[in-house]
C-alpha cells in the first residue's frame, strides 16, 4: 500500500523510557477507511504507541508520519479525534452540560480568542445525533450512565469532523451491554460515515467481527494485517504472545468491499 | 442609607468595589473549585498580607513610598506566591497539597513580622485580617476596576481553553491547548483578584467569596455557564446585602458578607433537599 493512502505511518519505531525498550522496531500503518484493532496485554506499550502518534513522546529510532507529513511538520491536530481511557474518569460532579462537553471538541478547530457561531452549535447537535445522544444535550454529564458518557466523548471527538478517530481502551468501566452497543456504534461510524478508526484494547475477542485490520502488540508487533488473515494466526502463537492460553472466538465475517 | 451613600465617598467606594469584586471573585472561583484547588485562595491571601505589610514597612523608612498604594505590593507578593505554589507542587509531586500550608504559613509569618516592624500591629492588622469598608480609597477602587476589566476580558477570551483544561487536562493538551501558559495566566489573575478583594473582606475571609457562592451554585446549576451565572448572582447578593446589613447593624462588613454567603449556601442545600424529598 502506498504511503499516501495511509493516514498514520510508523516506520521502524523503537522507544524506551529509561531502561529497556518498551517498543522495538514497530512498523505500523493505518490506511484510510480502515477500522484497526490494536490489541495487547497490559503493559505491552499500547499507550506509549498512542503517545508517539500524538507527538507527546519522541521515538529514539524510526519515524512517525501523519497524513503523509513528518510529525514535527504536522499541525492540523483537529483532523485526529481522540477518546482516552480516562475520558470517563473525570470528576462526575463537574457542572458541565452534555452540549458543553461536546463543544470542547471544537477548541482547537476554533483557535484562540474565537467564539462559537451558529454553525458550530449545529455541528455539536449533529455530533450528538450521530451517537444517539441528542436528547441529553442539556443534561449534566455526571447524571449519565458510563455507556452514555462514553458516547458523549465520542461525539466530542467527532464534532471537529476528524478523518481518524483514535480510541484508547474506551470501554474500561462500561458494562457489557453498553460495550457491545458501543462497538456496534463504532462499526456504523466506520462503515456508514467513512471514519477511519484505531481502537486500542486488551479485549481481543469482542472486536474481531467489527474491525478490518488487527495489530497485536507486545513490545514488538506480533501480527499486523487484515482481519481474515488474523484468523489463521493460530491460537498457540496468540497464547505465547499473551503469556497464557487464549481462546479466539469465532465470528461470522462480513467485510464487504474493504 | 441612600443619603449617606451620596454624602460619603468611602461608602460609594465600598459599594462600587463590592459590586466589582462580587463579579470577579466568584467568576474565578468557579474554575478554582472545579479544579479542586479551593484552598489556593487562602494561601494567596496570606501571601498578599505579607506584601501589604512589606509595603507599609517600606513606607516607614522611605517617605516617598507612602504615596504608593500597598495593594500593588500585595499583588506582587500574591503573584510571586502563585508561582511559588506551582513550583512547590512540582517538587512535592506526590504531596501536592503540601504547597498550600507551606505558602499559607510562610505568608502569615512574614506578614506579621513585617507589620510588627512597621508598628502597624493594631488597627492596620485588624483591617487587613477582617477587611474594612472605611479603608477603601479612590485609588483602591481604581485598582479594583482595572483588575475587573482585565479579568473579565481574559476569562472571556480564554473561556473555552480554561473550561476544557478544567474538565480534562490531558485531553485538552492533546487537542493543542497550551496548558502551561493558560495555567500561568490564570493563577496570576487569581493572585490579583485576591489582592484587591481582601481590602473589603479581609485575608481570612477572601477565599470564602471565591468558594461559597460556587458551592451553592454547583448544587442547582445545569451546565458550566449557568454555574458561573448563579455564582456571580450569589456573590453579588452576599456582597451588597452584607454591606447594607453591616451599615445598619454597625457590624464588620467582611464577616457579614461571608455569613450571608454561607446562609445562601445553606438555603440552596435545603431547597435541593426539599425538592428531592418531594420527588
Pick the residue from chain A with its C-alpha nearest to B160: A107
What are the structural domain ranges in chain A? Answer: 3-242
Cβ neighbours of residue B19 closer than 8 Å, sequence gap 6 or more: B236, B239, B240
The reply to whether B176 touches chain A by the CB within 8 Å rule is yes
> What mean pLDDT is predicted for residues A174-178?
77
Report the range out of B13-22, B91-100, B190-199 with the highest average pLDDT. B13-22
- In the block, cell 442547582 appears at B220
> What mean pLDDT is predicted for residues A80-95?
79
Query: Does the structure show a pLDDT above 90 at B5?
Result: no
Query: Does the structure show a pLDDT above 70 at A237?
Result: no
So what's the pLDDT on residue A258?
36
Question: Looking at per-residue confidence, does B5 or A234 come out higher?
Answer: B5
Using pLDDT thresholds of 50, 70 and 90, give the confidence band for residue B165: very high
ipTM, two decimals? 0.85
So what's the pLDDT on residue A225?
74
Using pLDDT thresholds of 50, 70 and 90, give the confidence band for residue B206: confident
Minimal C-alpha gap between A196 and chain B (Å): 18
So what's the pLDDT on residue A34?
92
Question: A5-19, A231-245, B97-111: which has the minimum mean pLDDT?
Answer: A231-245
Minimal C-alpha gap between B173 and chain A (Å): 9
Cβ-defined contact of B177 to A107 (cutoff 8 Å) = yes
So what's the pLDDT on residue A236?
52
Query: Does the structure show a pLDDT above 70 at B170?
Result: yes
Cα distance between residue A4 and residue A149, in whole Å: 35
Query: Does the structure show a pLDDT above 60 at A138?
Result: yes
Using pLDDT thresholds of 50, 70 and 90, give the confidence band for residue B241: very high
Query: Mean pLDDT over all residues of chain A?
Result: 82
> What mean pLDDT is predicted for residues B130-134?
80
Query: Does the structure show a pLDDT above 80 at A86?
Result: no
Pick the residue from chain B with its C-alpha nearest to A168: B171
Cβ-defined contact of A96 to B174 (cutoff 8 Å) = no
Question: Looking at per-residue confidence, does A201 or A251 come out higher?
Answer: A201
> What mean pLDDT is predicted for residues B76-89?
90
DSSP-assigned letters across all residues of chain A: --GGGEEEEEEEEEE-SSSS-SEEEEEEEEETT-EEEEE--TTSSHHHHHHHHTTSS--SEEEEEETTEEGGG---GGGEEEE-TTGGGS-TT---BHHHHHHGGGHHHH-TT----HHHHHHHHHHHHHTT-GGGTTSBGGGS-HHHHHHHHHHHHHTT--SEEEEESTTTT--HHHHHHHHHHHHHHHHHH--EEEEEES-HHHHTTT-SEEEEEESEEEEEEEHHHHHHS-HHHHHHHHTS--PPPP-----TT-
Q: To the nearest 10°, report the CA torsion of A48, A156, A114, B166.
A: -70
> What mean pLDDT is predicted for residues A157-171?
88
Cβ neighbours of residue B206 closer than 8 Å, sequence gap 6 or more: B25, B41, B45, B194, B197, B198
Question: Looking at per-residue confidence, does A33 or A206 come out higher?
Answer: A33
Cβ-defined contact of B36 to A87 (cutoff 8 Å) = no
Cα angle value B188/B192/B198 (rounded, 5°): 140
**Which of B30, B16, B40 is CA-nearest to residue B207?**
B40
Query: Mean pLDDT over all residues of chain B?
Result: 89
Residues of chain A contacting residue B167, judged by C-beta atoms under 8 Å apart: 90, 94, 96, 101, 104
So what's the pLDDT on residue B164?
94
**CB-CB neighbours of A171 under 10 Å:** 23
Query: Does the structure show a pLDDT above 60 at A254?
Result: no
Buried b / exposed e along B23-54 (16+ C-beta atoms within 10 A):
bbbbbbbbbbbbbebbbbbbbbbbbbbbbbbb
Minimal C-alpha gap between A6 and chain B (Å): 21
- Determine what percent of chain A is predicted with pLDDT higher than 70: 84
The reply to whether B221 touches chain A by the CB within 8 Å rule is yes
Residues of chain B contacting residue A99, judged by C-beta atoms under 8 Å apart: 223
Query: Does the structure show a pLDDT above 50 at A256?
Result: no
Using pLDDT thresholds of 50, 70 and 90, give the confidence band for residue A19: confident
As a CATH number, domain B2-272 is: 1.10.3470.10
> What mean pLDDT is predicted for residues B191-204?
86
End-to-end CA distance of chain B: 44
Residues of chain B contacting residue A94, judged by C-beta atoms under 8 Å apart: 34, 166-167
As a CATH number, domain A3-242 is: 3.40.50.300
Minimal C-alpha gap between B142 and chain A (Å): 27
Cα angle value A106/A112/A113 (rounded, 5°): 105
Minimal C-alpha gap between B164 and chain A (Å): 6
Q: Mutating which of B223, B231, B234 best tests the A interface, going by the most A Cβ atoms within 10 A?
A: B223
So what's the pLDDT on residue B76?
93
So what's the pLDDT on residue A242?
59
Residues of chain A contacting residue B177, judged by C-beta atoms under 8 Å apart: 107-108
> What mean pLDDT is predicted for residues B83-107?
88
- Determine what percent of chain B is predicted with pLDDT higher than 90: 51
Report the range out of A192-196, A221-225, B118-122 with the highest average pLDDT. A192-196
Minimal C-alpha gap between B250 and chain A (Å): 38
Residues of chain B contacting residue A96, judged by C-beta atoms under 8 Å apart: 163, 167, 223-224
What are the structural domain ranges in chain B? Answer: 2-272
> What mean pLDDT is predicted for residues A181-198?
89
Q: Mutating which of A47, A56, A90, A95 best tests the B interface, going by the most B Cβ atoms within 10 A?
A: A95
Amino acid at each position: 500500500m502506498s504511503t499516501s493512502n495511509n493516514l498514520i505511518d510508523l516506520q521502524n519505531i523503537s522507544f524506551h523510557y529509561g531502561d529497556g525498550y518498551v517498543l522495538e522496531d514497530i512498523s505500523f500503518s493505518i490506511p484510510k477507511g480502515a477500522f484497526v484493532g490494536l490489541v495487547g496485554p497490559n503493559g505491552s506499550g499500547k499507550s506509549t504507541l498512542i503517545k508517539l502518534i500524538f507527538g507527546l513522546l519522541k521515538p529514539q529510532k524510526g519515524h512517525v508520519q501523519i497524513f503523509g507529513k513528518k510529525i514535527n511538520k504536522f499541525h492540523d491536530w483537529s483532523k485526529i479525534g481522540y477518546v482516552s481511557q480516562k475520558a470517563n474518569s473525570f470528576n462526575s460532579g463537574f457542572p458541565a452540560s452534555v452540549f458543553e462537553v461536546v463543544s470542547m471538541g471544537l477548541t482547537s478547530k476554533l483557535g484562540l480568542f474565537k467564539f462559537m457561531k451558529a454553525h458550530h452549535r449545529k455541528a455539536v447537535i449533529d455530533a450528538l445525533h450521530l451517537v444517539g445522544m441528542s436528547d441529553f444535550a442539556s443534561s449534566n454529564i455526571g447524571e449519565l450512565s458510563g455507556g452514555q458518557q462514553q458516547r458523549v466523548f465520542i461525539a466530542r471527538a467527532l464534532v471537529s469532523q476528524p478523518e481518524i478517530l483514535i480510541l484508547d481502551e474506551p470501554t474500561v468501566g462500561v458494562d457489557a451491554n453498553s460495550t457491545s452497543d458501543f462497538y456496534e456504534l463504532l462499526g456504523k461510524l466506520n462503515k456508514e460515515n467513512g471514519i477511519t478508526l484505531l481502537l486500542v484494547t486488551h479485549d481481543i475477542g469482542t472486536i474481531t467481527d467489527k474491525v478490518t485490520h488487527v495489530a497485536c502488540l507486545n513490545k514488538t508487533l506480533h501480527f499486523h494485517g487484515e482481519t481474515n488473515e488474523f484468523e489463521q494466526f493460530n491460537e498457540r502463537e496468540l497464547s505465547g504472545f499473551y503469556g497464557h492460553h487464549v481462546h479466539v472466538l469465532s465470528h461470522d465475517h462480513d467485510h464487504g468491499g474493504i | 442609607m441612600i443619603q449617606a451613600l451620596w454624602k460619603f465617598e468611602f461608602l460609594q467606594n465600598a459599594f462600587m468595589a463590592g459590586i466589582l469584586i462580587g463579579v470577579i471573585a466568584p467568576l474565578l472561583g468557579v474554575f478554582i473549585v472545579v479544579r479542586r484547588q479551593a484552598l489556593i485562595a487562602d494561601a494567596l491571601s496570606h501571601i498578599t498580607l505579607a506584601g501589604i505589610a512589606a509595603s507599609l514597612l517600606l513606607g516607614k523608612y522611605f517617605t516617598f513610598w507612602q504615596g504608593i498604594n500597598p495593594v500593588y505590593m500585595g499583588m506582587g507578593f500574591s503573584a510571586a506566591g502563585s508561582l511559588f505554589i506551582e513550583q512547590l507542587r512540582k517538587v512535592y509531586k506526590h504531596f501536592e497539597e503540601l504547597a498550600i500550608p507551606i505558602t499559607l504559613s510562610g505568608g502569615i509569618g512574614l506578614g506579621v513580622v513585617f507589620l510588627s516592624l512597621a508598628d502597624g500591629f493594631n488597627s492596620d492588622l485588624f483591617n487587613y485580617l477582617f477587611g474594612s469598608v472605611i479603608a477603601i480609597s479612590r485609588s483602591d477602587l481604581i485598582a479594583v476596576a482595572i483588575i475587573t476589566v482585565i479579568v473579565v476580558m481574559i476569562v472571556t477570551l480564554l473561556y473555552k481553553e480554561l473550561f476544557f483544561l478544567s474538565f480534562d487536562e490531558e485531553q485538552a493538551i492533546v487537542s493543542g491547548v497550551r496548558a502551561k501558559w493558560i495555567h500561568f495566566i490564570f493563577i496570576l489573575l487569581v493572585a490579583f483578584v485576591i489582592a484587591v478583594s481582601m481590602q473589603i473582606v479581609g485575608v481570612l475571609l477572601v477565599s470564602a467569596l471565591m468558594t461559597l457562592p460556587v458551592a451553592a451554585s454547583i448544587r442547582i446549576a445545569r451546565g458550566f455557564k449557568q454555574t458561573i451565572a448563579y455564582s456571580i448572582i450569589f456573590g453579588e447578593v452576599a456582597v451588597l446585602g452584607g454591606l447594607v446589613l453591616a451599615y445598619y447593624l454597625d457590624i464588620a462588613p467582611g464577616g457579614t458578607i461571608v455569613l450571608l454567603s454561607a446562609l445562601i449556601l445553606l438555603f440552596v442545600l435545603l431547597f435541593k433537599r426539599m425538592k428531592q424529598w418531594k420527588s
